[in-house]
Structure formats: C-alpha cells, structure tokens
Amino acid sequence: MDVLIIGAGPTGLTAATALASKGIICRVVERKSEPSELSRAVGIMPVTIDALKSLGVADAFLAEAMPLRKMHVLRDEKTLVYLDNSGNEYRDRVPLGLPQNRTEGILRDALMDKGVQVEYDLSVTKISTSADKAEAHFSDNTSGEFDWVIAADGIQSTVREQLQIGYPGIDLPGKWSIADVDIVGDFDSEEITLDLYGRDCQFTLILPIEKYRARIASSTEDALGNMRLPLNIGSVRRTGTFQISIRQAETYRKNRVLLAGDAAHCHSPVGGKGMNLGMADAIAAAMSIVYGNVGQYSYTRRKVGASVVKKTEIARYLISSENPLAKSLFWFSAKCISSIPPLHRAFMKQWTSV
C-alpha cells in the first residue's frame, strides 16, 4: 500500500510511526529544509503516552520529559490554589513537560530505526483525489499516485485549501506571547505556576520543560516584561508572540485524503491539548487505513475534536475573561477542586485526557 504523509510536525511523524508499527513504510514530505529547533507545544498528556506505548516508542519520552505533578494558581501573587499530585493515584498520570522539537526528534529517531526517513525541503504544491486514489505534485516537479494521503500540514494546510474543505471559526483579537528561559538557582521542575493579575485579568504561566528550563506563557504581548513572579532567569532561549484562532475543518476526509492535527482543528493553548489531539488523530487515521475502516474516521475524530475545542474555549474564557461572573466561577471552581478530593480527581481525569 502506498501512503503519503504531508508535514513532519508531531501529527505527521506520529502517523508515520503508527503505520510503521504495522509494517507500512510510507513517504513523509516536509516543506522545511531541516527539523525545527523551536517549540510550540510543551505538554504531553498521559493518554498520549499510553498511545505511544502501544506503538512501542514511549520509553524515550518517559526518560526525557518532566512530570508536572504540582499546580500553583495565584491571584496577584497570592496563592489561590495549590494542587499536589505527588502522593495520589495521579502521581504517574500527570502531564509531562517536553519541548515540541524533542517530541519530534524522538519520533524521527524511532522512524529512522524502522527505515522511514523524512524528505525535507520537499512540499506538496498540488493535490487531487478520486474515490480510489490521490495524486500529489511536489516542489521538485515530480508527482506520485497514492492509495492514501494523510495531510498533517498544519493550520495553513495547502491540502485543505486545494480540496476546498471549509475551516470555519474565529480569530481572536490581540496577541499572546511565550519565552523559553534557563533558570538559575532554586526551581521546582514539577510545578506549573499560573499567576492571574490585574483588573483586566491577564495571566503568566510558568511550565518546566527541563530540570532548569521553563516555558513562560502570557496573555500579553510581552511574556518577560509582564513577569511578576520571582524567577531567577539565566538566559533567554527564545521569545515569540502568537494569535489564537478557533477553527475546525468541515470534514476530515475527502476521498483518499485524511486531514489530521492542526490542518483539521486549532484552538488556544490553554490546557495544552492541541498537539495531543493531533497525535491522537494521526494514530486514528493510520489505523483506519491499516484496518480498512476509513469511513468512520471523519465522524469520530470531528466529534472528539469539537469537544476538545469547546472545553478549551470554556477554560480560556474562564481564565482570561474580564466578566466578574466568569471570574467568580473560575475562583470558586478552583477552590472546590483543591479542597474536595473527588472534584480534584475529576479535574485531573478531565485535564489529562484528550
């Protein structure tokens, strides 16, 4: 069977790994000339680790990633909630901190072992599909016919556009920002810290990604300039701003082409689910090809995607809304989760699944 994967982000690499685990060696093409050293996603959920275990590639993730067992929520630098999962059943079922470039690196290494090598500097320029095949044209003026194509070509997906699949939704005004920094001195690499501040309800999030390295994310355009928490920053590795879109493709399939990952959905990074959702799409797409039940793919994955987009949007609204009622609801829920064990467990279950 000839399968083409377009895009070597986390979604495309996971799809190729899933196919390789079933003995299907596919082509993976990537527009960039080399692997990116930059990271967007920094959180891997336990369900994703479970899925990677089934593909035989979880050990390297578990060896390298930071378990994020504690969550400290502050309001104007004063503790509002402190959740510690070190001593409960979630101790080893917490999100893991790992830069996205390392997630991609681990998957690429696993693929190399199976004989799959990403073809960099090669993009798909044109695609067409009928009931029994898909044809792709590449930037080096070659073309090929494939039984199946998995389009994991990200939020600006060329494939989605060429196949005229709608991507309705909204683009939020304003920009958020990130900074990846090295920390000097005391640092709890198991703790996520969220500081909510000001009347206009901004926030800063500190998320460990290595023992002495953290991602700082902010609802403002200047993550470092608006840092109010005492964090001894050594060097700044990168900074960046980004805009949030909330969109979902009208269908995840057209004939022989399946959309997966950001090509199929996007939402705010609150909760850290986007990449995890894409990796789950990737495995579902690959397995539906392997087991011949592609007919179910769009319906089932769109349903899961719609639910994640909706929950993420509720969480983003509660965290960043200026509405006093939403604020009160957020604080009340946070207090209940930290003081009522069944609610703490329900929250962990919700948060760590995709």
Ligand X SMILES: Cc1cc2nc3c(=O)[nH]c(=O)nc-3n(C[C@H](O)[C@H](O)[C@H](O)COP(=O)(O)OP(=O)(O)OC[C@H]3O[C@@H](n4cnc5c(N)ncnc54)[C@H](O)[C@@H]3O)c2cc1C
Of residues 163, 274, 285, 319, which one binds ligand X by CB under 6 A?
274
Q: At what angle do helices 324-339 and 297-320 cross, to 10 degrees?
A: 100
Kindly report the number of other CB atoms within 10 A of residue 196's CB atom: 22
163 binds ligand X (CB under 6 A): no
- Report in angstroms the alpha-carbon separations of 84 from 49, 131, 332, 334, 353: 21, 52, 18, 13, 18
> CA 283, 307, 180, 347 torsion: positive or negative?
negative
Number of H helices, E strands in the chain: 9, 21
Query: What distance, in Å, lies between the first and last C-alpha atoms of the chain?
Result: 30
How far apart (Å, rounded) are the C-alpha atoms in residues 224 and 343? 34
Of residues 261, 298, 316, 334, which one binds ligand X by CB under 6 A?
261
How many chain residues touch ligand X (CB under 6 A)? 33
Stretch that binds ligand X, among 9-17, 67-75, 227-235, 325-333 (CB under 6 A): 9-17
Of residues 107, 178, 201, 223, which one binds ligand X by CB under 6 A?
178
Q: Which is nearer to ligand X, 98 or 342 (CB)?
A: 98
Stretch that binds ligand X, among 24-32, 76-84, 106-114, 318-326 (CB under 6 A): 24-32
Of residues 7, 67, 208, 305, which one binds ligand X by CB under 6 A?
7
How far apart (Å, rounded) are the C-alpha atoms in residues 264 and 281? 9
Identify the bridge partners of residue 242 per DSSP, sorted by sequence position.
176
Report in angstroms how near the CB of residue 335 gets to ligand X at its nearest.
Answer: 25
276 binds ligand X (CB under 6 A): yes
43 binds ligand X (CB under 6 A): yes
42 binds ligand X (CB under 6 A): yes
Q: Which is nearer to ligand X, 91 or 126 (CB)?
A: 126
8 binds ligand X (CB under 6 A): yes
- Report in angstroms the alpha-carbon separations of 46 from 24, 49, 276: 26, 5, 10
Helix (H) or strand (E) holding 299: helix 297-320
Report in angstroms how near the CB of residue 88 gets to ligand X at its nearest.
Answer: 23
231 binds ligand X (CB under 6 A): no
- Report DSSP letters for 99-158, one per residue: -HHHHHHHHHHHHHHTT---B-S--EEEEEE-SS-EEEEETTS-EEEESEEEE---TT-H
Of residues 65, 107, 149, 152, which one binds ligand X by CB under 6 A?
152
Report in angstroms how near the CB of residue 105 gets to ligand X at its nearest.
Answer: 13
How far apart (Å, rounded) are the C-alpha atoms in residues 327 and 319? 7
- Report in angstroms the alpha-carbon separations of 278 from 151, 254, 301: 11, 18, 10
180 binds ligand X (CB under 6 A): no
Of residues 20, 275, 284, 318, which one binds ligand X by CB under 6 A?
275
The pattern of x and - marking residues 88 through 127 that bind ligand X according to CB under 6 A reads ------------x----------------------xx---
242 binds ligand X (CB under 6 A): yes
Q: Which is nearer to ligand X, 21 or 103 (CB)?
A: 103
10 binds ligand X (CB under 6 A): yes
133 binds ligand X (CB under 6 A): no
30 binds ligand X (CB under 6 A): yes
Q: Which is nearer to ligand X, 307 or 328 (CB)?
A: 307
Minimal CA–CA distance to 46: which of 21, 65, 22, 72? 65
272 binds ligand X (CB under 6 A): yes
Residues that bind ligand X (CB under 6 A): 6-12, 29-32, 40-43, 100, 123-124, 152-154, 158, 178, 242, 261-262, 269, 272-276, 278
